[in-house]
Amino acid sequence: MFDIKLDRISKRYFIWNDHRSRSALWPGFTRPGKRKKEIWALRDVSFEVSTGESLGIIGNNGAGKSTILKLLSRISVPTSGEIRIRGRLSALVEVGSGFHQELTGRENIFVNGSMLGMTRSEIVRKVESIVEFAGVREYIDVPVKRYSSGMYVRLGFSIAAHLDPDILLLDEVLAVGDLVFQAKCLDLISELRATGRTIVLISHDLGAIQRLCDRAILLHQGQIVHIGTPAEVIDRYQQMTIGAEATYHLVNDEWRAPASCSHISFAAAEAGATVRTGYPMFARFGFRARERLENVVFNIFIYWPSSYLCAQLTTAISEPHLRIAPGPGEVEFYCPVLEIQPGLYRVGVSIESNGDDIDRQERCALLRVHPGKMVFGDFYMDSVWRIT
């Protein structure tokens, strides 16, 4: 049974040239050929979400994610195509955006609640619980313009959380509030999901997509590129984004640095095997030195897709006073247990001498880690166990 069904949905926006803003300052002032530009935010998008399923939508900025959300929540209508929605749908988009600054928290619960589709009697029934969950009891009769931004968001989310939707749309709601509140939101969403509600989640947080969704869609330039399991789709997305950005200009002879990196490669210890979580891995760092160098350090940086540093391989800890002679050479790192989870990582390298970078290349290679020993969490922690 479907809850949401999109049938060949397209959405077109028009963008006007700034010089002809429609304020009619100069109604006759138009530059030929530069008047109106049409943009297809979505083109022939069709998919279904069945009851109780949670679907994640990922894609770059401008891929059409928010447009889908706007169409589903009826903020905007499609240019062509048809959407069928079975049941009550609520969107948790920028919670608290309907608040009136002059009104008190309690009054805003009524205004915002009824904007979200609750009846007055429903709100009267729920108002105590809303105040409780938001934790703003002392301030509930104070105008919300006096609220801190945290209280504002908590109250907004609490109202939305007290809806009883069949279908829940989420768009980056998890990016607001402090960590405790974020955890609270995530718990609530998991619980709603467990009670059979259909969820559509739009997020840049690939981890959240993987944790919360049964299925995912990858959008690119208004079209569906891939539908499948979150792991599959995230992998495809990472290939698309990181693959496009990676630069492989490693051999750098024109630059007369005292030493430079010439190549980098990763390999499993076992011949013929792929690099897998939980198994040994070799990382080989080729370099070329043009002079004798003292106190040399070789680094390999492994970055998450989000560009945060995930891990570092370095020679600095075991041998801070490494010396190298002119000529080519290679450093081989051996990791007995690869602890990072499957996925596609960016790799950067650097060579230091006496504390200064003499070569540094960000995002110069990719590391693909294949599924090996499977665990939950951000890392695989190698362990042994016994029953005592």
Partner 1 sequence: MNPPHTAGAHGSEDLEGGDRSNPSEPPASLPVSTRRLPEREHPLLGSLPAPPRAVCIICPPSFSPGAIVSAFVTLLAHRDLLYTLTCVRLSIRYKQSALGWIWAALLPLSTMCIYTLIFSRVARVASEGMPYPLFVFSALLPWIFFAGAVSAAINGMVGYSHILTKLYFPREIIPLSYVFAALVDFAVALVILGGLMAYYRIALSWNAFYALPLVVILLVFTSAVALFLASIQIRLRDVGVALPVLLQIGVFVTPVAYPLQSIPPRLQTLYLLNPVASLIENFRRVVLHGSAPNVPMLVTSGTITLGCFILAYGYFKVREGTMADII
Q: Is residue 82 a contact residue for partner 1 (CB under 8 A)?
A: yes
Going by C-alpha positions, the residue among 222, 253, 219 that lies closest to residue 237 is 219
Going by C-alpha positions, the residue among 171, 138, 172 that lies closest to residue 155 is 138
Of the ranges 251-259, 263-271, 290-298, 369-377, which one interacts with partner 1 (CB under 8 A)?
A: 369-377
DSSP 3-state assignment of 173? helix
Of the ranges 86-94, 146-154, 256-264, 288-296, which one interacts with partner 1 (CB under 8 A)?
A: 86-94
- In the bound state with partner 1, the residue whose beta carbon lies nearer, of 174 and 261, is 174
| Least distance in angstroms from the C-beta of 253 to partner 1 | 39
Question: How are beta strands 327-335 and 281-289 bridged, if at all?
Answer: antiparallel
Pick one of 196, 243, 320, 326: the residue that binds partner 1 (CB under 8 A).
196
DSSP 3-state assignment of 192? helix
Q: Is residue 210 a contact residue for partner 1 (CB under 8 A)?
A: yes
CA gap 25, 41 in Å, rounded: 29
What residues numbered 306-335 form the site for partner 1, per CB under 8 A?
Answer: none
CA gap 28, 20 in Å, rounded: 9
| Residues forming beta bridges with residue 150, ordered by sequence position | none
Of the ranges 236-244, 247-255, 344-352, 376-384, which one interacts with partner 1 (CB under 8 A)?
A: 376-384
DSSP one-letter code for 102 = T
| Least distance in angstroms from the C-beta of 116 to partner 1 | 7
Size of the site for partner 1 (CB under 8 A): 86
Residue-by-residue DSSP string for 116-150: TT--HHHHHHHHHHHHHHHT-GGGTTSBGGGS-HH
Alpha-carbon dihedral sign for residues 141, 146, 151, 156: positive
DSSP one-letter code for 318 = T
Going by C-alpha positions, the residue among 94, 91, 122 that lies closest to residue 109 is 122
DSSP 3-state assignment of 365? strand
| Least distance in angstroms from the C-beta of 231 to partner 1 | 5
- Contact flags string 266-285 toward partner 1, x per CB under 8 A: -----------x--------
Contact criterion met (CB below 8 Å) for 163 and 116: yes
Q: Is residue 134 a contact residue for partner 1 (CB under 8 A)?
A: no
| Least distance in angstroms from the C-beta of 170 to partner 1 | 14
- Contact flags string 19-58 toward partner 1, x per CB under 8 A: ---xxx-------------------------x-xxx----
What residues numbered 87-126 form the site for partner 1, per CB under 8 A?
Answer: 87-89, 91, 93-94, 97-98, 100, 102-103, 107, 110-111, 114-120, 126
Q: Is residue 203 a contact residue for partner 1 (CB under 8 A)?
A: no
- In the bound state with partner 1, the residue whose beta carbon lies nearer, of 120 and 292, is 120
